[in-house]
Structure 1
Amino acid sequence: MKFIITREQLVNSVQDVMKAVSTRTTIPILTGIKIEAHEDGVTLTGSDSDISIERFVPAEEDDHVNVTIEKPGSIVLQARFFSEIVKKLPDSKIEIEVYDRFSTHIRSGSSEFNLNGLDPQEYPRLPEVQENNRFSIQADLLKTLIRQTVFAVSVSETRPILTGVNWRIEDNELKCVATDSHRLASRSATVEASSEDMDFSEVVIPGKSLTELSKILDDSSELIDIILTESQVLFKAKNILFFSRLLDGNYPDTSKLIPNDSKTVMIVSTKEFLQAIDRASLLAKEGRNNVVKLSTMDQDQVEISSNSPEIGKVFDHVKTESLEGDELKISFSAKYMMDALKAMDCSEVQIQFTGAMRPFVLNPIEERSITQLILPVRTY
């Protein structure tokens, strides 16, 4: 194998596939990146058996030559060393040549490296996916969906199904739900799908996979094709394939968690409320579970407070745009509230309370496709 590739294309491609490479894998060859040179260009693959990423660099694109293939072939190179090498090579062009016994020569400007490669035949094949269950969504909207839900997945492995985000498609609407049993994040969006033809319409995608996918996607209106199978999901973007395994098991029915009624409803500036919670949490971090208390007051104000006996107390006041219903004193995790507010993307948020020990719901004023739910904390 021998080819010459532009340094920029190689660096970007290696950075993308590195997101799937794990140093803690039990399969030694998966610590490497597979590189295949063929007539159309160069394909790089990284995998940790849960996530697999394939990045294609076309030989020519938009009248620009990315790769010159002199001899087709393939090799697996140690990801950690190869990624560091390509980032630090001096010239805009990099030549890679493989000799006998997988010895690989890398040249760029005045620099030369020799790396011992691995047999590409031992590298696991990527899953073959039937494209029956397929729908499309814009890349920037997909990134938003991930950002507004994935933070609420569980980090505990005691209930593995909760470490993923539940995706359900119905009538060309995708609904994403994440919960760790203490909070819930839900976001829905219209997708381009032929959901009538789909064999099944509900999957649970690991939160880790969605986080890594989000780092690769561009903020563009380019359509991403999403293909579902019983055990895998495939995201197809321009020159990128991103595979992830799905989580086994039944996701809990979260629809019953959302209260139908409310006793106290307030509308506040998202930014002002977030800043007040942030200030109150400065002392709460030292106390139990980062808990702050909200108390309704007269004259359209709420008081945010926290008390850490060893450190001190903090009181902050936020003016509400409107405040209706019963008086309320309620305690909750400052972190959960801040995470929810940051995911809102709105200037004003409506919060509906059903009592001091009942879950409460946050919705943006302008957008009803986003719902955040938080369970309060008992502090007395």
Structure 2
Amino acid sequence: MKFIIQKDHLVQSVQDVMKAITSRTTIPILTGIKIVASEEGVTLTGSDSDISIESFIPKEENDQEIVEIQQTGSIVLQAKFFSEIVKKLPTNQVEIVVDNLQTTIRSGKSEFNLNGLDSEEYPHLPQIWEQNSIKVPTDLLKNIIKQTVFAVSTSETRPVLTGVNWKIENNDLICIATDSHRLALRKAKIEAAAEQSFNIVIPGKSLNELNRILDDHDEPVEIFVTENQILFKTKHILFFSRLLEGNYPDTNRLIPTESKTDIVVNSKEFLQSIDRASLLAREGRNNVVKFSTMGENVIEISSFTPEIGKVMEELVSESISGEELKISFSAKFMMDALKVLEGSEVKISFTGAMRPFVIHPTNDDSTLQLILPVRTY
């Protein structure tokens, strides 16, 4: 195998596939990056058997030559060393030559020799029949992930809750994440075949890694689903993830359909106010803050930790309707929710001091956050 490649393209591809590689794998060859040179270009693959990422570098793009293939072939190189070497090469032209698993990497006056592994030993990527695809614009997909994935559970006691539940019904994509103390929901209209429907759970870790790879643009990502795998396909990247097994709990009944107290607040002011209140709550039980309505559209936000001190702040809301309310909740959960909601105002709907409450943008029904209160009063 022998080819000459532009360094910046190689570095970008290596960074993308490195997101799937872990040193904690039980299969030694998976600590490597598989490199394949074909007539069309160079393909890099990284995998930890849960996530697999394949990045393709074409021979030319926009009439510019990126790779000159002199001899096709393949090799697996230690990811840790190869990625560090590539980043630090002195010039923008990199020559890679493989002879009997011995790999030479040349750039300018610098030359590295690495021992490679036989690419035939590298596990094959999952086979996914490319039919029944759905298409989601990249910027929308990034938004959906951002607004849900933070609410997945970090505890392995219920593995299915460490993922985000994706459902497709009638061209609606519904994404839900919950750790049983809070819930994030996002709906979006998408392109799908009329009869298409699925109900799957994608690991939160996979979605986080996918989000880091996707660029901000509106080109669509094609998504293919099989029984235990999902494939996200962009122009030059294939991102495979295994799906989580088990039935995701039915969360519909958790979301209240009516409310006793509705409050509309400026989301930025509210977020900053909760942030300040949490400063003295951090040492306490899960940084709990207290929230109460005071009349005249005024809200009081406070926090008290006996050994540290207390903080109290009044905030004028846009409107308050319904019953008076005193409630306590996790400042962290509230801040997480407010950070991902778009729009300058949010509406918070309460159904009582010990019932879950809902936060959503005032002008948008496609997204909501739900939080369970904490008993302190």
TM-score w.r.t. length of structure 1: 0.98
Q: Which runs of 5+ in 2 are unaligned?
A: none
Match of 1:55 in 2: 55
The 1:195/1:159 distance shift into structure 2, 3 A limit, reads farther
* Aligned residue number for residue 27 of structure 1: 27
Quote the residue 1:364 is aligned against.
361
Q: CA deviation at 1:195?
A: 3.9
- 1:1-380 mapped onto 2 (5 Å cutoff): 1-100=1-100, 102-196=101-195, 198=196, 200-380=197-377
CA offsets per residue over residues 319-377 of structure 1, 9 Å max, x none? 10000111111000000000000010110000000000000000101111001000000
CA deviation vs aligned residue, 1:269-289 (integer Å, no higher than 9, x gap): 000000000000111101111
Tell whether the 8 Å contact from 1:169 to 1:195 is kept in structure 2 after alignment: no
Native 8 Å contact 1:303 1:315 kept in 2: yes
Tell me how many residue pairs correspond in the alignment. 377
- Tell me the CA shift for residue 132 of structure 1: 2.9
User: What is the distance in 1 between the residues matched to 2:128 and 2:327?
Assistant: 49
Runs of 4+ in 1 over 6 A off after TM superposition: none
Task: Name the amino acid aligned to 2:235.
Answer: K
Query: Secondary structure at the residue paired with 2:187?
Result: strand
Letter in 2 for 1:379: T
Equivalent-residue separation in structure 2 for 1:189 and 1:44 (angstroms): 33
Q: Given that residues 183 and 374 in structure 1 are in contact (C-alpha distance below 8 angstroms), is that contact kept between their aligned partners in structure 2?
A: yes
Question: Which letter does structure 2 place at the counterpart of 1:132?
Answer: Q
Aligned residue type for 2:33? I
Give 1:131 deviation, angstroms.
2.2
Match of 2:257, SS state, is coil
Deviations 1:239-295 (A, max 9, x none): 100000000010000000001111110000000000000000111101111100001
- Rounded Cα–Cα distance in structure 2 between residues aligned with 1:131 and 1:119: 29
In the superposition, the TM-score normalised over structure 2's length comes to 0.99
**Structure 2: distance between partners of 1:74 and 1:203:** 35
Maintained 8 Å contact 1:2/1:72 = yes
- Runs of 5+ unmatched residues, structure 1: none
Whole-Å Cα distance in 2 between the matches of residues 108 and 139 of structure 1?
Answer: 35
Question: 3-state DSSP class of the match of 2:16?
Answer: helix
Q: Is the 8 A contact 1:195 1:201 kept in 2?
A: no
Shift of 1:318: 1.2
